Amino acid sequence: MGTRSTALDEAVRSEVGHLLEGVAVDLIALSLNLKQAHWHVQGATFKQVHEQLDEVLADVRTYSDDAAERAVTLEIAIDGRPAAVAKSPVADFRTGWLDAQETIALVADEVGAVAARARETLPTLEEKDPVSHDLVVQIVTGLEKHLWMLRAQTR
C-alpha cells in the first residue's frame, strides 16, 4: 500500500478501527430511527419536534461519517451496510404515529444509549490512539448536548 497514513502498528489500528466501526454503525442505526421518528411525530409541538429531530439527525450523520472516515484513515475497512447496521444494539424504533412528547422521550433514550456505548470506547482509545479518542470525545459531547436538550422537554 505504500506509505502508511498513520504511525500506529497494525494490531492497534485494527483494534481502534473496529471500535470506531461500532460507533459509526450505532450512529447510522440512530440516524435511521431519527428519520422514522421525524416522519411520524404529531401533536401540539409537532413543528418544533420535527425540526429538532432534523437538527439532531444532521449532527448524527456527520458523527457517523467522521467515525467511519477515521477508521478508514487507519486503513481499516468497515461495514456500514444494512445487514451490519441491523446487528447494532440500537433498538428498532416504534412504527406508526407518535405523540410529540413520547417521541422526545424515545429519541432521548436512544441518543443516551448511543452516547453511553461510544463513551465506553474512550478508555481504550485514550490509551491506544489519542486522535481517535479526541474524535469520539467530540461525538459524545455533541450527543450529550442533544440529550440534554431533549430531556429538558420532558421535565
Is-contact 110 90, C-beta < 8 A?
Answer: yes
The pLDDT assigned to 7 comes to: 80
Tally: H helices and E strands in the chain: 6, 2
Q: Provide the whole-model pTM.
A: 0.94
Least confident segment among 3-12, 14-23, 33-42, 66-75: 3-12
* 46-73 helix and 130-151 helix, angle to the nearest 10 degrees: 170
- Kindly state whether residue 19 falls inside one of the protein's structural domains: yes
Residues 118/23, Cβ–Cβ less than 8 Å:
yes
**Residue 33 belongs to what domain range?**
10-154
In a domain, 26, yes or no: yes
Looking up cell 492497534 gives: 12
Task: Please give the grid coordinates belonging to residue 123.
Answer: 478508555
pLDDT at 1 over 50: no
* 135 within domain boundaries: yes
Question: Could you read off the pLDDT of 94-118 as tens digits, one per residue?
Answer: 999 999 999 999 999 999 999 999 9
CA dist 36 and 41 (Å) reads 9
DSSP assigned state of 49: H
Mean per-residue pLDDT, 60-88: 96
Cα gap 61→152, rounded to integer Å: 23
In a domain, 5, yes or no: no
Domain containing 136 — which CATH number? Answer: 1.20.1260.10
Residue 4 has pLDDT above 80, yes or no: no
The number of folded domains in the chain is 1
